[in-house]
């Protein structure tokens, strides 16, 4: 019997990763024999580790913190999504042996919001907290859903301004950048406010250290929904804050994780797994 195809996720740290479990469940569901492992790779080992993986017959790699941007420099080509995000989370080697990359984070978020959670985005006022790699990756797919307005708030406002400029160049939806510290404050008459949002997405990494950015319940519009891109075994700090301060619903990013993995699985295997039972299996372990 041939050895199972090899796949892996690389990052640092990586022991917490749920990707091996998710891809193993997808493989069982779709009848594929594969081995998917988590490999701890330090930044200075990145190029060597990626080349060694594919030279050794590896078929596909997922890439997570802190390598999503750096790995772009190793590719022969990448998708439009990866190019816009300036970050890659899925790699494979094409028939000529050239290294190709894509970014499935944006589509993962959109599928979770739309298909799993039924959260409307079109014509809504959106607040995106954070301007790092994840924010950049979800920006284009969110704008493609035609929100009424998008405000990007970041601790370092210059990074939010860069993202807002990228969005301006790409379309007609109003996108503004502000400092996190200016959120929820009174707005001069005639200006669009920094309060009363319909959907607030936390793309800062604060939940990973059980912290919160400075936030006010004034951010909530009627029926506001909150979404934390981070996920944890317990309620994340942002989800807890949202539930305690009157959001109508608050979700973590576990669904996004499963959906971005399903898209990577589809890129590698040409088969789209059913995400619902996999998400349910993970949820039963995390609540
Ligand atoms: P990143 O590139 O390191 O960016 C971190 C962001 O968090 C920056 O905007 C940073 O602001 C902000 N931040 C960090 N500490 C802060 C603090 N104490 N107060 C306020 N803002 C703070 O990280 P990333 O790759 O974008 O990841 C962000 C989050 O998305 C993480 O929680 C990650 O787990 C999650 N994520 C989830 C999925 C999924 O599938 N569910 C996929 C990708 C990412 P400054 O620019 O001012 O430093």
* Tokens standing for residue 201: 């997405």
Residue nearest to atom 8 of ligand 1 (CA): 132
Best residue among 9, 16, 130 to mutate for probing ligand 1, ranked by most atoms within 8 Å of CB: 130
For residue 207, the CA-to-ligand 1 centroid distance in Å is: 9
CB of 110 sitting under 6 A from ligand 1: no
Predicted confidence pLDDT, tens digits, the chain (287 residues): 778 999 999 999 999 899 999 999 999 999 999 999 999 999 999 999 999 999 999 999 999 999 999 999 999 999 999 998 999 999 999 999 999 999 999 999 999 999 999 999 999 999 999 999 899 999 999 999 999 999 999 999 999 999 999 887 667 899 999 999 998 765 554 455 788 999 999 999 999 899 999 899 999 999 999 999 999 878 999 999 999 999 999 999 999 999 999 999 999 999 999 999 999 999 997 65
Best residue among 81, 111, 203 to mutate for probing ligand 1, ranked by most atoms within 8 Å of CB: 203
For residue 183, the CA-to-ligand 1 centroid distance in Å is: 18
Give Cα 93 distance to the centre of its chain: 23
Instruction: Point out the residues that are catalytic.
Output: 68
Q: Which atom of ligand 1 is nearest to the CA of 68?
A: 25
Residue of 271, 238, 268 whose CA lies nearest to 252: 238
Residue nearest to atom 31 of ligand 1 (CA): 205
Cα distance between residue 142 and residue 18, in whole Å: 25
CB of 129 sitting under 6 A from ligand 1: no
CB of 229 sitting under 6 A from ligand 1: yes
Grouping H, G, I as helix, E, B as strand and the rest as coil, residue 228 is strand
CB of 65 sitting under 6 A from ligand 1: yes
List Cβ neighbours of 33 (8 Å cut-off, separation of 6 or more): 4, 5, 27
Give Cα 4 distance to the centre of its chain: 29
Give exposure, 60-70, as e/b (b: 16+ Cβ within 10 Å).
Answer: bbbbbeebbbe
Are the beta carbons of 23 and 273 closer than 8 angstroms?
no
CB of 211 sitting under 6 A from ligand 1: yes
For residue 285, the CA-to-ligand 1 centroid distance in Å is: 24
Q: Which atom of ligand 1 is nearest to the CA of 253?
A: 41
How high is the pLDDT of residue 285? 79
How high is the pLDDT of residue 287? 58
How high is the pLDDT of residue 172? 87
CB of 231 sitting under 6 A from ligand 1: yes
For residue 20, the CA-to-ligand 1 centroid distance in Å is: 22
CB of 236 sitting under 6 A from ligand 1: no
CB of 6 sitting under 6 A from ligand 1: no
DSSP characters for 45-59?
Answer: GHHHHHHHHHHTT--
Q: Which atom of ligand 1 is nearest to the CA of 207?
A: 32
């Amino acid at each position: 019997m041939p050895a199972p195809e090899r796949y892996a996720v690389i990052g640092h740290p990586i022991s917490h990763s749920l990707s091996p479990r998710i891809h193993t469940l997808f493989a069982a569901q779709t009848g594929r024999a594969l081995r998917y492992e988590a490999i701890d790779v330090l930044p200075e080992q990145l190029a060597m580790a990626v080349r060694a993986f594919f030279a050794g017959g590896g078929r596909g790699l997922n890439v997570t913190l802190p390598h999503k941007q750096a790995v772009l420099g190793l590719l022969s080509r990448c998708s439009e999504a990866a190019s816009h995000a300036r970050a890659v989370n899925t790699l494979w080697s094409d028939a000529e042996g050239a290294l190709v990359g894509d970014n499935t984070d944006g589509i993962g978020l959109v599928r979770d919001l739309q298909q799993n959670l039924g959260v409307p985005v079109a014509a809504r006022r959106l607040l995106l907290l954070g301007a790092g790699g994840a924010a950049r990756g979800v920006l284009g797919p969110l704008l493609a859903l035609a929100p009424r307005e998008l405000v990007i708030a970041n601790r370092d406002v210059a990074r939010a301004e860069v993202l807002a400029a990228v969005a301006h160049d790409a379309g007609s939806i109003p996108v503004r950048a502000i400092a996190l510290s200016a959120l929820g404050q009174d707005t001069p008459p005639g200006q669009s406010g920094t309060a009363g949002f319909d959907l607030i997405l936390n793309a800062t990494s604060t939940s990973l250290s059980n912290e919160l950015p400075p936030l006010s319940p004034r951010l909530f519009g009627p029926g506001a929904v909150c979404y934390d891109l981070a996920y944890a075994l317990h309620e994340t700090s942002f989800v807890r804050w949202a539930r305690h301060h009157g959001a109508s619903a608050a979700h973590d990013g576990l669904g996004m994780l499963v959906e971005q993995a399903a898209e990577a699985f589809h890129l590698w295997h040409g088969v789209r797994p059913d995400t619902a039972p996999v998400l349910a299996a993970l949820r039963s372990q995390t609540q």
